[in-house]
Amino acid sequence: MVLEFEKPIADLEQKLQEMKDLAKGRNIDLSSDIESLEEKILALKKETFENLTRWQRVQLSRHADRPYALDYIYEITNDFIELHGDRTVKDDKAMVGGLGDIDGRTVMFIGQQKGRNTKQRQERNFGMANPEGYRKALRLMKMAEKFGKPIVTLIDTPGAFPGLEAEERGQGEAIARNLKEMFMLKVPVICIIIGEGASGGALGIAIGDRVFMLENTWYSVISPESCSSILWRSWDYKEQAAEALKLTAKDMKQNGLIDEIIPEPLGGAHKDLKWMSKTIKEAIIQSLKELDKLKPEKRIEQRIDKFCSMGVFVE
Amino acid sequence: MAWFKRTDKGIKTSTAEKKDTPDGLWFKTPNGNIIHTRELKNNAYVCPDDDFHVKIGSKEYFEILFDNNKFTELDKDMKSGDPLKFSDTKPYSSRITETIKKSELNDAVRTAHGKMNGLEIVVACMDFNFIGGSMGSVVGEKISRAIDYSLKNKVPFLMISKSGGARMMEAGFSLMQMAKTSAKLALLDQAGIPYISLLTDPTTGGVTASYAMLGDFNIAEPGALIGFAGPRVIRETIGKDLPKGFQSSEFVLEHGFLDFIIDRRQLKSRLTTLLNLLNN
């Protein structure tokens, strides 16, 4: 999949390929041409990706090739055992979780999961969890607390599912309970926005001692499309809405609403899953090193203080 | 010759001098019952003919709940900043200024402590006519501080929700108010101080997904719209009409998320009974 703003790069890359094929097929030396074109492509890439608009980052966060929670989990861990079900209603496949190890240390992983093809997307409900998903997440978090294992959540959702059954089973209550319970977890909690961080559906697993955003992700109270439809009464103002919402990692960091940004490879996380996973893994290890030094009560106090200091008002 | 001769043609009164019929002297319920506003006020703003609960704000709830309408308001002057310099069809800052002028409120929640039938209580009450009762930094902060007051003075906390959800114009900041208020409620929970959440028409979005659903007691007024997603969004998602009564207080009670539904005329006495039962 090539996004609109990636087209000039893709065109050049195609030209480069043609040139390489030509050089090989006719056995002529085009190496200096190839080299200069490669340099040109790299420069264009850098320029493009350093100057992305907020909406373009939103597009990148939804890129069809972007790695999802389980992609990272399997890259980061040696062993991983997925755990299912909320013990009440069913197993929500939009929310995954399980025990895995990071260099031998056991961690509880939890995250929203999107699907790669039509069938999977349906099964994963496009990464939109139902109440049972949030309750499954909470069950696993409590289990982690019981066994003294740190928690890592990977957030990637266009929102909690707005469906009929979701309302019947208390979507609002499920998210609210998670917010409250996550503040009191005695184990370290690290939250990483890996794709889309839409509103309460994202926040429902995003209360942590450290909150990270990957470079090309978004996190806000509403998606730019819905914001456009409500405030502008039309779906056509999503670019403006994205600008107004200040929803990128850089914006959120600047406003003190997240702790750190994790850089992505040039072109986005999907360009190099191994590198991206390694970088995420390092961020987790570093955070755990810092958080291990604190007593549980201190961690809880700092977690509460951090979120309670968020807000701008005049008195 | 006509008895009266009209010397001037047309309406001469300038718009500024225009006299309206006194606004809201009579109230018509959705069922078509008409009631005088004075009678409505004496009846806790519930229509006696069809028990329709008229939407009211903090002024009225404080009047209903606090003894002799006596209370001490907290953080009265707190106003919204504009951290994102947000602008849609008009700038957020001017929207705030206009709404303050129009509604005579500083934001979408008012917090106060006082006595209810002699019992100390802290009440936070939302006002829907302030940008749809939306939750931004001020709402989050005032509720948090009201809970702090409850914690410090060991006084029960009553939250009256009436909101369309989080305030879009404060984007990420609004979202984090859900976290902030939930954190404070976790502390209140730990301290064993009662928290009663009263959900009124409407309570949706981020408010439902945070403090409104976190009460030791979740209670609601009859016929209120209570949900996470709004009905329109759900209808569009599932592509079907919604069943009758979907997301009403009665529906939410039936599905196990409310302790009971309370008629506003009994609100004060029932809350008093409940708190007394906890005290005795």
Please report, for chain B, the start and end positions of each structural domain, with discontinuous segments joined by +: 24-54, 55-279
CA–CA distance, B211 with B201 (Å, rounded to integer): 16
Given a contact cutoff of 8 angstroms between Cβ atoms, the answer to whether B112 and B157 are in contact is no
Phi, psi (rounded to 5 degrees) for B260: -165, 165
Is A173–B257 a contact, with Cβ atoms under 8 angstroms apart?
yes
**A contacts of B170 (beta carbons < 8 Å):** 221, 312
Contacts of residue A24, defined as CB under 8 A and 6 or more positions apart, other chains included, come to none
Q: In a mutagenesis test of the A interface, which of B79, B87, B170, B182 is the best target, namely the one with the most A β-carbons within 10 Å? A: B182
Task: Note the pLDDT of residue B26.
Answer: 87
- The answer to whether residue A301 neighbours chain B at the CB level (below 8 Å) is no
Name the CA radius of gyration of chain A, rounded.
Answer: 21
Helix (H, G, I), strand (E, B) or coil at A193: strand
Q: Mind listing the pLDDT tens digit for each residue in B256-279?
A: 999 999 999 999 999 999 999 999
Of all residues in chain B, the one with the smallest CA distance to A314 is B79
DSSP, res B175: H
- The answer to whether residue A223 neighbours chain B at the CB level (below 8 Å) is no
Given a contact cutoff of 8 angstroms between Cβ atoms, the answer to whether A200 and A223 are in contact is no
**B contacts of A257 (beta carbons < 8 Å):** 172-173, 175-176
Is B172–A252 a contact, with Cβ atoms under 8 angstroms apart?
yes
Task: Note the pLDDT of residue B13.
Answer: 72
- The answer to whether residue A184 neighbours chain B at the CB level (below 8 Å) is yes
Task: Note the pLDDT of residue B27.
Answer: 87
Q: Mind listing the pLDDT tens digit for each residue in A98-153?
A: 999 999 999 999 999 999 999 999 999 999 999 999 999 999 999 999 999 999 99
Helix (H, G, I), strand (E, B) or coil at B202: strand
Is A162–B237 a contact, with Cβ atoms under 8 angstroms apart?
yes
Least confident piece of the model among B49-53, B182-186, B193-197:
B49-53
Overall average pLDDT of the B51-59 stretch? 95
Of all residues in chain B, the one with the smallest CA distance to A253 is B172
Q: Looking at this predicted complex, what is its ipTM?
A: 0.95
Q: Nearest-CA neighbor of B80 among B95, B64, B63, B65?
A: B95
* pLDDT category of residue B220 using cuts at 50, 70 and 90: very high
Given a contact cutoff of 8 angstroms between Cβ atoms, the answer to whether B159 and B144 are in contact is no
- The answer to whether residue A172 neighbours chain B at the CB level (below 8 Å) is yes
Helix (H, G, I), strand (E, B) or coil at A296: helix
Task: Note the pLDDT of residue B19.
Answer: 62
- Beta strands B26-28 and A95-102 are unpaired
Place of tokens 């040696």: A78
How large is the angle between the packed helices A171-183 and A296-308, nearest 10 degrees? 120
**B contacts of A204 (beta carbons < 8 Å):** 209
| pLDDT score of B91 more than 80 | yes
- The answer to whether residue A315 neighbours chain B at the CB level (below 8 Å) is yes
Is A200–B205 a contact, with Cβ atoms under 8 angstroms apart?
yes
* pLDDT category of residue B23 using cuts at 50, 70 and 90: low
Considering only the C-alpha atoms of chain B, give the largest distance between any 2 of them, rounded to a whole number of Å: 86
Phi, psi (rounded to 5 degrees) for B250: -65, -40
CA–CA distance, A238 with A227 (Å, rounded to integer): 7
CB-nearest to A312 from B83, B186, B189 is: B83
Q: How far is B193 from chain A (nearest CA, A)?
A: 15
Task: Note the pLDDT of residue A210.
Answer: 98
**C-beta atoms surrounding B240 within 10 Å:** 9
Least confident piece of the model among A54-58, B28-32, B83-87:
B28-32
Task: Note the pLDDT of residue A50.
Answer: 92
DSSP, res A94: T
| pLDDT score of B77 more than 90 | yes
Given a contact cutoff of 8 angstroms between Cβ atoms, the answer to whether B77 and B28 are in contact is no
Residue B136 burial class via C-beta count within 10 angstroms: exposed 0-12, middle 13-18, buried 19 and up: buried
Task: Note the pLDDT of residue A265.
Answer: 97
Q: Which residues of chain A have pLDDT under 70?
A: none
**A contacts of B176 (beta carbons < 8 Å):** 257, 307, 310-311
Dihedral sign for Cα B55, B58, B59, B63, please: positive
**A contacts of B235 (beta carbons < 8 Å):** none
Is A172–B208 a contact, with Cβ atoms under 8 angstroms apart?
yes
Q: Mind listing the pLDDT tens digit for each residue in B155-177?
A: 999 999 999 999 999 999 999 99
| pLDDT score of B20 more than 80 | no
Q: Mind listing the pLDDT tens digit for each residue in A184-213?
A: 999 999 999 999 999 999 999 999 999 999
C-alpha dihedral (A4, A156, A161, B235), degrees to nearest 10 = -10
Overall average pLDDT of the B101-129 stretch? 97
Write the single-letter amino acid at A4: E
Count H helices and E strands in chain B, helices first.
Answer: 9, 10
Structural class in CATH, domain B55-279: alpha beta
Task: Note the pLDDT of residue B5.
Answer: 74
The percentage of chain B sitting over the pLDDT mark of 90, rounded to a whole number, equals 82
Task: Note the pLDDT of residue B22.
Answer: 59
Task: Note the pLDDT of residue B21.
Answer: 57
**For B24-50, b where at least 16 C-beta lie within 10 A, e where not — what string?**
eeebebeeeeebeeeebeeebbbbeee
Task: Note the pLDDT of residue B18.
Answer: 64
The percentage of chain B sitting over the pLDDT mark of 70, rounded to a whole number, equals 96
Q: Which residues pair with A82 in a beta bridge?
A: A98
Helix (H, G, I), strand (E, B) or coil at A218: strand
Is A176–B238 a contact, with Cβ atoms under 8 angstroms apart?
no
**Superfamily grouping for domain A58-308:** 2-enoyl-CoA Hydratase; Chain A, domain 1 (3.90.226.10)
**A contacts of B233 (beta carbons < 8 Å):** 162
Task: Note the pLDDT of residue A270.
Answer: 96
Dihedral sign for Cα B266, B268, B269, B271, please: positive
Q: Nearest-CA neighbor of B122 among B154, B168, B83?
A: B154
Averaged pLDDT of chain B: 94
**H or E segment and range at residue A136:** helix A131-146
Given a contact cutoff of 8 angstroms between Cβ atoms, the answer to whether A265 and A272 are in contact is yes
